[in-house]
Structure 1
């Protein structure tokens, strides 16, 4: 039940000549203090329309508006109309709704089964999976689950960076300094060393850059030696990536690298030629874009292709293959211009569906306030961070709850959950400072805090020998009202997360629910008193359900015990 909508509909009956219902919904606020009511409507915008003071309009509306049964009181306070919900009726309805719907609570069918593709993670092969890659991976994974919650069919795409001039550089480095035996023992770390060495040496020897370009040209031309080295580097990378995805619980429907589109780019160039969009510039082929943007480079002077060429081919392929109505590209802020160019060229090609393509940018993962750089070797490996997080969680369990069953599983859930939650609680556009100590705290705004709250709710239900009752609940007092109101807000948090491509809305929500529940737990004797025992346990169960589902949308597991 959307009680804000009910209030808006009641107001609209009095104000339909002055305001549209959508505008009324936008104006409704939630008062800061509980004693001021549950919803408030500000009358300041109506002052010019009615030519009256806001407080006078509020007073008249409070006398004219007929509220539905779910409300008990309406009053004017300054320039606001404040309304109060029937706590008993609403509490019973909300808890029963959660218990009936369980994990489906908060779901809406906004997408009606339409397909949405989400391009995320997309690490570069032959480089370690660093903390810098974490952001795209966990943001995209969460957005996929949130989109499904909103009724969309999601195609998860991992667009591997497995092509481009960096592979020419890596092959050149391997030919100059590589040791096959060492690389076979520890492929990714040894390849990283070569990549870093190449850029260090290139600062003093510019011919190395030319050598790298030549090897990439050989790769594009199908040279057998270049292809064999490239395939070896790619296979070793995928092994490491898959072990990390397994740790994070992340899966994909399509894992296709840039190289997959090599045989599809001639068609793109041909289409651009047919539409007379290609122009020559200093020997290269470009497409002019909107004012203020540089031209989009399609082919270099030496005939090699670029990201844009492959991304055009990928966008067309995905639309034709999946019939997607929307597409999200979860890629860092630094690629904003690239995606503006990409979308603009697709529009010039006459593809109307390109209007539904969206770049979902995010800030950087910082270490000591500075960007992590693979080419300079300043990188924190994600696999090592995850393993250390799990190890610290394991030690915490050994210290505080040594008799816990399934300690290894819980340590994994808490350790990886801490890393994921630390990222997602921040708005994606903000930079995130890497701090393992902060991530793993069991108090404050952390994943372990929310997980522990879920485990606490589960423990209460076990101790209370809870038997579910989804009908006939009768709440009376005010003690649980802050928890009930928070439960009511879950569907709206899910909706905001989807519409803003912003998992932090869900993360902030579960933190708030954990906080108000822990306050309730600290003030109310749930198991001791016979009065409303079933209602109190039902409320605990509702909180348990919503915390678990909220964490699920973030890609974080919810242990029953900790």
Structure 2
């Protein structure tokens, strides 16, 4: 069995937990007309890693980006757009300009009752299907998605569906009918509520006193639509910790409605930066694109220092992989429910539990294989069996066989950090192996066996990091 066949065998020994069962993973979910900021990174990165893990285990994953594309803010944006939009700014920085329009319009509404009433009128027209307002609203979505998709491409994140809140708008009245039919809601001060206090949960409003609906109603409609269309075995939501009560409430209501699909809320702690760590601030929000730019710039300094003879274009490409990988791994290597304090020093460290360290471990193995091929061009390591005579060899080989279990555990617990821990432990086992056992100076047979172990380790590192959405350059 050659090295590639051995890796295939290792992977084939995993449990086929998925067996083609459909699973919907709802993550990222930014709001239309607002730039993505650092607060979106965790949902996007954690959700994408869970997405990759589930696909690896044979599930039929449907990744859904449930955009915030409906609500009262659009009345303010439509009115503001007509009154003071900068068309040139919309061409060069559309989402930033839409955000500026919204902020200025919102500030006016706080002090000007007339402005607020006009914004409400525009919203009502939009909700009733006014062609002009609908066209503007569609333009806002199109402009925003163009910006979002550019960032998603940098992060190597993709979705199967982009279904925002608006997709389910026509179903909201039906949800209320179902709730009333099952006597799950009642009136309170003009609003319609589900009283969950007897079940240890707070009251959930499903229709406001002004007749409008809220997130609970929309999310129930979304679950009903998803179960009817896809019959998923599970729907996973990846959001921050502040939404825990909301998900407990609407999961409970769904169960009372008779929905049997497993509903899972994967919540995470917030990410923050120490004071003065990051210099690019607009207001009090750190734009995600600026964070990625900074990561690539800092990674380029690292690559130039470690490989000054590398072609400049290649340096930039490696810096992109290292910088983006550092951002992702800093998040994914920690328990999702912990608060993450991001520092550049830790993220870009070439030693310790970091993406650059693991990427460098992979590149170092590639270098060993290149040296072997150069010194023994006529010999094929795959023609030799793997022989485990040294303790470090046995420890490394045992660690390699545990890769499928690590994938399954990371998916079952919805914790990509399990995979990160495994990869770091693997790299440590390889380091001990590399430092204590001779390679190119060993006799024929043991030498080829060790090269094969190197190849297997590189393959598992590459596969494992890819499940976290992290690239592995051949050289750093």
Q: Calculate the TM-score normalised by the size of structure 1.
A: 0.76
Q: Secondary structure at the match of 1:304?
A: coil
CA–CA separation in structure 2 for the residues paired with 1:389 and 1:142: 20
Structure 1 residues 244-272: Cα deviation after superposition (integer angstroms, max 9, x where no partner): 11111111111111111112223222322
CA–CA separation in structure 2 for the residues paired with 1:208 and 1:505: 52
Name which of structure 1's ranges 397-406 and 244-253 shifts more when overlaid on structure 2: 397-406
Equivalent residue runs for 1:251-266 within 5 Å:
251-266=158-173
Partner in structure 2 of residue 239 of structure 1:
146
Tell me whether 1:426 sits opposite 2:334 in the alignment.
yes
Partner in structure 2 of residue 545 of structure 1:
459
Structure 1 residues 423-459: Cα deviation after superposition (integer angstroms, max 9, x where no partner): 1111111121233343222222211110110111111
Structure of higher CA gyration radius: 1
CA–CA separation in structure 1 for the residues paired with 2:10 and 2:37: 33
Structure 1 residues 10-37: Cα deviation after superposition (integer angstroms, max 9, x where no partner): xxxxxxxxxxxxxxxxxxxxxxxxxxxx
Partners of 1:146 and 1:497 within 8 A in 2:
yes
Partner in structure 2 of residue 416 of structure 1:
324
CA separation of 1:198/1:470 partners in 2, compared to 1, >3 Å: closer, same or farther? farther
Structure 2 portions without partners, runs of 5+: 374-378
Partners of 2:384 and 2:448 within 8 A in 1:
no
Equivalent residue runs for 1:7-86 within 5 Å:
none
Tell me whether 1:142 sits opposite 2:49 in the alignment.
yes
Tell me whether 1:475 sits opposite 2:475 in the alignment.
no
Partners of 1:108 and 1:149 within 8 A in 2:
no
Structure 1 residues 373-428: Cα deviation after superposition (integer angstroms, max 9, x where no partner): xxx93111112222232233334333332443643432221121111111111111
| Backbone CA RMSD of aligned residues | 2.8
Partners of 1:120 and 1:136 within 8 A in 2:
yes
CA–CA separation in structure 2 for the residues paired with 1:433 and 1:204: 38
Equivalent residue runs for 1:379-418 within 5 Å:
379-404=285-310, 406-418=314-326
CA–CA separation in structure 1 for the residues paired with 2:188 and 2:24: 34
Equivalent residue runs for 1:317-336 within 5 Å:
317-336=225-244
Partner in structure 1 of residue 185 of structure 2:
278
Structure 1 residues 195-230: Cα deviation after superposition (integer angstroms, max 9, x where no partner): 444565666668866665554334323344433332
Equivalent residue runs for 1:445-484 within 5 Å:
445-465=353-373, 467-469=380-382, 472-484=385-397
Equivalent residue runs for 1:126-205 within 5 Å:
126-174=33-81, 177-197=84-104
Partner in structure 1 of residue 257 of structure 2:
349
1:474 deviates by 2.1
CA separation of 1:192/1:470 partners in 2, compared to 1, >3 Å: closer, same or farther? farther
Structure 1 portions without partners, runs of 5+: 1-92
CA separation of 1:202/1:467 partners in 2, compared to 1, >3 Å: closer, same or farther? farther
Partner in structure 2 of residue 514 of structure 1:
427
CA–CA separation in structure 1 for the residues paired with 2:252 and 2:197: 7
Partner in structure 2 of residue 555 of structure 1:
469
1:102 deviates by 6.2
Structure 1 residues 465-499: Cα deviation after superposition (integer angstroms, max 9, x where no partner): 27342873222121323323322332232222112
Partners of 2:384 and 2:449 within 8 A in 1:
no
Determine which structure has greater relative contact order: mean sequence separation of CA pairs < 8 Å that are 6+ residues apart, divided by chain length.
2
CA separation of 1:421/1:262 partners in 2, compared to 1, >3 Å: closer, same or farther? same
Name which of structure 1's ranges 356-365 and 288-297 shifts more when overlaid on structure 2: 288-297
